[in-house]
Chains A and B, each alone.
Chain A
């Protein structure tokens, strides 16, 4: 029983992390049709900013690093948009995807050149790794936080999308950006908001990822974001609800395979997870919440 609860919590916290990342990808994609392969770099930049602050400012408590980490991720998202993605905003989706891919290579190699290929330790509050005992079950604080923060972030996002003008504009832009602009909304503002939200969500995920790894390295963003991409495809690319559901579904699948696979083939876990998703996509190519494209749809 305890084991089951423990694993269920695992699935929820990993799934929450994927959902945060997938949601950030989906928001940017739904607004401007960009597949941001450089999303993982937000995590990396967040990690190295915290590392730099830890080395040069030597704060007394690791709590102070957290908001800076999130801020760094948001800043990175906004700067990327301004410098790299704005010039190609009206280009076909493939161009955007490959630009983001190239950008991600540049950022990785920047950290290889300037810092090092090896990982650097980044402290997070000790509170995160404390254990809480409920009845007979031991839970790490980090896992509860991950679930709770993901939930709160989703709620806030929902409020933003439903009850603010910019949220309405973003939802409308996912169907027809030109009409949104005809209504007098500035395109740059909408895109900027999408990137800032995407960076914020990635920053939250980055804190959890760093808390779990305890270190930053140039390639740390890749694996989680690849999972987030697969989660987004599973949910239906561009669908926000799909991103969340896909994220949790992938988290659950990962934990199930972790538990079920025998020791000798445990190394194949990711291969099994991806094959499983591939299998689901055979049954439903457009993903869980996706709709099949029709003539005249917004090009994606």
Chain B
């Protein structure tokens, strides 16, 4: 099979997973389970965006949630009806208080703005090598947070921005997540993706072979910013309100734990990690809320979900640094196993 067809097919097979989950939930689940699944899809989109840059270049990125915030705020501010805006954002700059966009236009503009900002920040960040780059991404997250909290006229500061028309649902989210799975997979297997992964193994050797590492990192960073921005837009249209807190460390930890558990080197890892952490996180949240199990009243334990996320990261890295899936995509693994079995059968037949 041609490489890109193979990559498309593998991506499509993996993309079936979110679709199946979405359909099952729509058919059988209760309202609260649908809400959890909706958030899962948004987190999945963000984790996939993170995988595009962090997984391929192996530079830890702690600032990705900033793009989720930028996407969400831009889309939200554009889409809030003028009537509501005149009370909550009367002094919005750039004449935004008299602007009202439909969801499609708002999405387009928000993703475009996020992409543009990702490009500009990428110019700085990709000049740094490994560790320094990571710290600069963290500083970037703080910068964006400071702006969200302080730019009262545009974002309402620390108070919630509300009134965004709810214009997405599980069907949209499911298909967008599936499309992003395929996009991330095609990027991973593309020429740029392969070169980028080579550079993460040995930066100087790859550069000596003519790989333009800086340009590739920039390209991955911008692509990732666009995906995560789209995730943020979906968040705005799903929840209908947001505050700067929504796009800070909690979400950063959550999505990082997802990517690390599954294994950041593959798109399959991102998907599996997102599923498993979501299940674990919801279970921990259930325990945290002091439920009664088999007649035993459990105490309320604050911080349990945080323990779970931190513990997941530490334990996985100590025992299985490449995550559950590791370096290969699931379909590649299965294919290799089948090939090996065939080979063994042939050898047995010959002997």
Contact = CB atoms under 8 A, between A and B. Distances in A.
Interface in B125-139: 127-132, 134-136, 138-139
Q: Which of A29, A94, A97 has the most CB of B within 10 A?
A: A94
A99 B313 contact: yes
Contact of B150 (A84, A99, A106, A265): A265
Contact of B314 (A91, A103, A293): A103
A281 interface: yes
B59 A94 contact: yes
Interface stretch (A60-68, A157-165, A197-205, A272-280): A272-280
Nearest to B260: A98
Interface in A68-98: 84, 87-88, 91-95, 97-98
Nearest to B317: A99
A117 B306 CA distance: 13
A155 interface: no
A104 B314 CA distance: 10
Interface of A: 29, 35, 84, 87-88, 91-95, 97-99, 101-106, 108-110, 112-113, 117, 226, 229-230, 232-233, 237, 265, 267-268, 270-271, 274-275, 277-278, 281-282, 285-287, 293-295, 300
B72 to A, nearest CB: 19
Contacts of A102: 257, 309-314, 317
A179 B62 CA distance: 34
B256 A106 contact: no
Interface stretch (B18-26, B140-148, B340-348): B140-148
Contact of B136 (A88, A92, A93, A281): A281
13 contacts: A35-B134, A35-B135, A94-B134, A95-B317, A97-B131, A97-B134, A102-B314, A112-B306, A237-B135, A267-B146, A271-B143, A274-B143, A278-B136
B136 A105 contact: no
B256 to A, nearest CB: 7
A113 B306 CA distance: 10
Interface of B: 58-60, 62, 123-124, 127-132, 134-136, 138-140, 142-143, 146-147, 149-150, 203-205, 208, 253, 256-257, 260, 301-304, 306-307, 309-314, 317-318, 321
B149 A267 contact: yes
Main secondary structure on chain B at its contact with chain A? Answer: helix
B131 A237 contact: yes
A295 B208 contact: yes
Main secondary structure on chain A at its contact with chain B? Answer: helix
B132 A233 contact: yes
A287 B139 contact: no
Contact of A271 (B134, B136, B146, B317): B146
A285 B129 CA distance: 8
Given A109-B307, A113-B302, A293-B129, A271 B142 contact: yes
A93 B131 contact: yes
A117 B301 CA distance: 12
B298 to A, nearest CB: 14
Contacts of B306: 105-106, 108-109, 112
A67 B204 CA distance: 47
A298 to B, nearest CB: 13
B131 A300 contact: yes
Nearest to A287: B132
Contacts of A113: 301-304, 307
Nearest to B121: A278
Given A113-B304, A282-B124, A270 B146 contact: yes
Contacts of B60: 94, 97-98
A267 B157 CA distance: 11
B309 A278 contact: no
A106 B311 contact: yes
Contact of B313 (A101, A117, A282, A293): A101
A271 B134 CA distance: 17
Nearest to A285: B127
B147 A93 contact: no
Contacts of A112: 302-303, 306
A221 B128 CA distance: 25
A280 B124 CA distance: 10
